[in-house]
Amino acid sequence: MSQSFQTWNKQGTTFHLVPTDKFKTTTVLVTFSAPLEEKTLTSRALLPYIMEKSTAAYPSMKALREPLETLYDAGLYADASKFGEEHVISFQLDVVRGDLVRHETLLEEALDLLEQMIFYPDLTEGGFREQFVKQEKRLHALRISSLYDDKMRFAQQRLLELMAPGEAVSLSSLGTLEALEQITPVSLRDTYRSMVEQDRIDVFVVGHVTQDEMEDALSFLPSHDEKASHYIPAQKQVAGVKRSSETQPIKQGKLHLGYRVSVDPTSVDSIRLQIVNGLFGGFPHSKLFMNVREKESLAYYAASRYAALNSALYVYAGVETKQAERAETIIGEQLRDLKAGQFTDEELTQTKAMLINARRQILDQPGQLIGWLNGSKMRGLTLEDEIHIIETATREDVVRLAATIELEAVYLLRGEE
């Protein structure tokens, strides 16, 4: 089970390394993080789709993919996402270990392509290539519009806006159609320059690599001042339950509840709260699944998710509109039962076992391991630490932490009667 993790800072960049010969590949993730702001979000969300299309040296997708194929089908990807109150642009490289294919310079050659993608973009006439920008703007408009078609995502977005109107956490990770219309090849270039010059940089590596080898291989990263993290929203007090509803021509209503959780996301209690969530609605044996869905037949699905960075817990339920009020009542009863300690030792043991098993499975996939590293860096805990915290959590811990959960908002997307 033991796995070593190394974290250090050099020239403003924070490195996170898992040195291991367990995998046949080396995975490298470079992230650029900035405060989540409405005025920059749409442009930053679009940028990685443009950057992974081509580089200055490889001015088409076909030209860029050819060298990747010669490097044993190495993978090179770009993406953007929200992380608490940060917007993160990421570049990931997956390449087979050179020692396994007798290609000593394989990682070095693959990292050269990563460097090309990040620091030598395809800029012509002062901006990104216009044909790619037009193409990706059309595609991104479809991504933004698809939010309306995915009713579960739509309802969750509405819930976030209800809980934190105008705040960073309520912003859609894709941006808006209005902002998208204003993006030009030149403005996108300015967004890129801001990313390179102003963002905090983190590097995550999982593979048969030492610290010195990692620093040498990534020496192309710029030296810059170390920047603070902005991913933890301030704790808020709940002042009454906010409610909102809309009606659309859908068959199945969407009932979404937002709870405020008074737990520091950097603390060990945020790990224990995952047990509370597991008992409440995180697993098939949870109270929401067994009582709201199975016993009462009030929902097509009913589940919960703990979002530590948002200090929030969300409940999702697909309901018949006429049953929404009854479903909300039963959901509230399940939380009250948790707060009263009304759960069995068997349920507690099963929940802890499933959380521990999920962490052990992380060690079997480089991508999952990097995802865990990225998400857990704010706590400074190892996987072994987290497993020990879960194993030693008590019934009293569950009751104590359940008491910190308070209903803040209810959103209902009604189906037409």
pLDDT in tens, 101-130: 999 899 999 999 999 999 999 998 789 999
**Does residue 27 contact residue 91 with C-beta atoms inside 8 Å?**
no
Q: How confident is the model at residue 232 (pLDDT cuts 50, 70, 90)?
A: confident
Which one has a higher pLDDT value, 1 or 416?
416
The helix-helix angle for 151-163 and 130-149 (nearest 10°) equals: 90
415 CB-near residues (< 8 Å, 6+ apart): 247, 248, 249, 250, 251, 252, 253, 320, 321
Supply the pLDDT for residue 2.
45
pTM of full prediction above 0.75: yes
Q: In what order do the strands lie in the sheet with 13-19?
A: 6-10, 13-19, 200-207, 25-35, 86-96, 75-83
Give the contacts of 197 (CB within 8 A, at least 6 positions apart): 224
pLDDT digits (tens, 9 = 90+) for 313-328: 999 999 999 999 999 9
**DSSP-based three-state secondary structure for 87:** strand
Q: What confidence score (pLDDT) does residue 154 get? A: 96
Is the separation of the CB atoms in 323 and 296 below 8 Å? no
- pLDDT at res. 285: 94
Which amino acid appears at position 139 of this protein? L
The end-to-end CA distance of the chain, in Å, is 54
The beta strand positions in 186-300, using DSSP E, are 200-207, 242-248, 253-261
Supply 194's token pair: 């801001």
Q: Quick check: 352 pLDDT over 50?
A: yes
pLDDT higher for 168 or 141?
Answer: 141
Across the chain, mean pLDDT equals 93
Q: Which two tokens stand for residue 81?
A: 């996402």
27-86 residue pLDDT tens = 999 999 999 999 999 999 999 999 999 999 999 999 999 999 999 999 999 999 999 889
For the chain, helix, strand, coil in percent to 5 are: 45, 25, 30
Strands of 253-261's sheet, edge to edge?
Answer: 242-248, 405-415, 253-261, 312-319, 301-307
Per CATH, domain 242-415 is 3.30.830.10: yes
Does 351 have pLDDT greater than 90?
yes
Band (224; pLDDT cuts 50, 70, 90): confident
Predicted confidence at residue 1, as pLDDT, reads: 39
- CA 208 to centroid of chain Cα atoms: 26
Which residue from 316, 268, 311, 333 is spatially nearest to 404, judged by alpha carbons? 311
- The per-residue pLDDT for 84 is 86
- Strands 25-35 and 200-207, how do they pair? antiparallel
User: Beta strands 312-319 and 253-261: pairing type?
Assistant: antiparallel
CA atoms within 13 A on the CB side of 320: 8
Q: Name the one residue in this structure whose structure tokens are 């790990």.
A: 271
The gap from C-alpha 104 to its chain's centroid, in whole angstroms, comes to 34
φ and ψ at 316, to 5 degrees?
A: -120, 135
Q: What is the pLDDT of residue 250?
A: 92
For the stretch 280-338, pLDDT in tens is 999 999 999 999 988 888 888 999 999 999 999 999 999 999 999 999 999 999 999 99
Q: State residue 261's pLDDT score.
A: 96
| pLDDT score recorded for residue 376 | 82
Domains 6-217 and 242-415 share a fold: yes
- The pLDDT score that the predictor gives to residue 156 is 97
Structural class in CATH, domain 6-217: alpha beta
Instruction: Using pLDDT thresholds of 50, 70 and 90, give the confidence band for residue 227.
Output: confident
**How many CA atoms within 13 Å lie on the side-chain side of 163?**
32
Burial category of 39 from C-beta neighbours within 10 Å (exposed 0-12, middle 13-18, buried 19 and up):
exposed
Domain ranges of the chain: 6-217, 242-415
* pLDDT confidence band for 417 (50 / 70 / 90): low
Residue 34 β-bridge partners: 87
Q: What was the pLDDT predicted at 3? A: 57
Residue type, 47: L
- pLDDT tens, 153-198? 999 999 999 999 988 889 999 999 999 999 999 999 999 999 999 9
pLDDT score recorded for residue 378: 82
198 forms beta bridges with none
